[in-house]
Amino acid sequence: MEVKQGKQRSVIVLILPGVQLLDLAGPVQVFDTAVRVLGLPYRLAFCAASEEIRSAQQLSLAHLQPLPAVDGSSLILVPGTGAAPSHNRALLDDATRRWLQDSYRAGAQIASICSGTAILGEAGLLHRRRCTTHWEFTADLQSCYPTSHVLDDVLYVHDHGIITSAGVTSGIDMALWLLEQDCGPRIAADIARQLVVYFRRSGQERQVSVYLEYRSHLDPCIHKVQDWLAEHVSEPATLADLASVGQTSERSLARAFKAATGITPHQYQLLLRLEVASHLVRDTALSLETIAAKSGFGDVRQFRRVWGKRYGAPPSLSR
């Protein structure tokens, strides 16, 4: 994409009255960190119909830029305002509505955070598209825009250049996904690490993933082993290898790991590999053989067997 080729990509943040600060700041921090830490050619612009807007938290945002001309390389972020979708209340002025419509026709990607999805609905951009929003607003969104297909248990979803997210922290996951589409998974992982985001969640995931589900214990040795497994998910690892990482004996590691997480190191490794494979199956056109190799399975037959045991269906159905 544009960023890979070194061409600057505009990230335009549309600021509306009552904007929620976390919806705004989370995704912006992803792209700002990509610029400051890795020197990636993104250019952030904060735009609105007026020069000053007050957030939902009563913080005044000033010196905002006017709505710019947009081309097909641009990304527009639309943070939520906290306002539920409504048949009786307009969220957009006419000029901003036309700007969003013209921008989409020009080929720009448009990504909303939380109730920002309702703003896209008001602009007519959700017709016959899969979309999502914060769980509190999904029923209202479907009622207001009945020709859309509102998903109520995903973190974010992409449909023909329109990306919508559940909001709050999932806006960060969505922004990391967008960064990965531009620059690849290694760059996205580097930025996630800079932001102390343990792992970017796939849009299809529920609120808790394997990367978070088994981390509520306080054992630093087990945390270290879990970190190593997550960072080397495609590599073979014996119990002796993991004991060396944790600087303990194999027997002590096996006992402590089971006590801390409720599962064995091998079971945890398989869950990590399935998590990576799940993302690759849903979000790429890679062959199952390539996915099996990238996610650390010995061959495609083992991958299909483990996947089927876990999900009760072959991986091809998840595409």
**Residue ranges in the chain modelled with pLDDT below 50:** 1-2, 5, 205-208
Q: Does residue 61 share a domain with residue 157?
A: yes
Residue 113: strand, helix, or coil: strand
How far CA 25 is from CA of 68, 193, 211, 237, 243, in Å, comes to: 21, 17, 24, 39, 40
Position 220 in a domain: yes
Domain that holds residue 241: 208-319
User: Rg for the chain (alpha carbons), in Å?
Assistant: 21
Strand partners, 10: 43
Q: Does residue 305 share a domain with residue 180?
A: no
Q: Does residue 154 share a domain with residue 36?
A: yes
φ/ψ of 304, rounded to 5, equals -60, -40
Number of domains making up the chain:
2
Q: Does residue 266 share a domain with residue 171?
A: no
Please say whether the beta carbons of 161 and 178 come within 8 A.
no
Return the structure tokens found at 178.
């967008």
What pLDDT was estimated at residue 212? 62
Return the structure tokens found at 227.
């970190």
Position 201 in a domain: no
What pLDDT was estimated at residue 202? 54
Position 3 in a domain: no
What pLDDT was estimated at residue 198? 56
Q: Which of 135, 167, 194 is the last residue of a domain?
A: 194
Strand partners, 157: 164
Q: Does residue 135 share a domain with residue 273?
A: no
Q: Which of 136, 163, 194 is the last residue of a domain?
A: 194
Return the structure tokens found at 235.
């590599």
What pLDDT was estimated at residue 286? 86
Position 91 in a domain: yes
Position 19 in a domain: yes
Q: Does residue 175 share a domain with residue 143?
A: yes
CATH code of 47's domain: 3.40.50.880
Position 138 in a domain: yes
Residue range 220-262, pLDDT digits in tens: 899 899 989 988 999 999 999 999 999 999 999 999 999 999 9
Question: DSSP string of 61-111?
Answer: E-SPBPPPP--TT-EEEE---SPPP-SS---S-HHHHHHHHHHHHTT-EEE
CATH code of 281's domain: 1.10.10.60
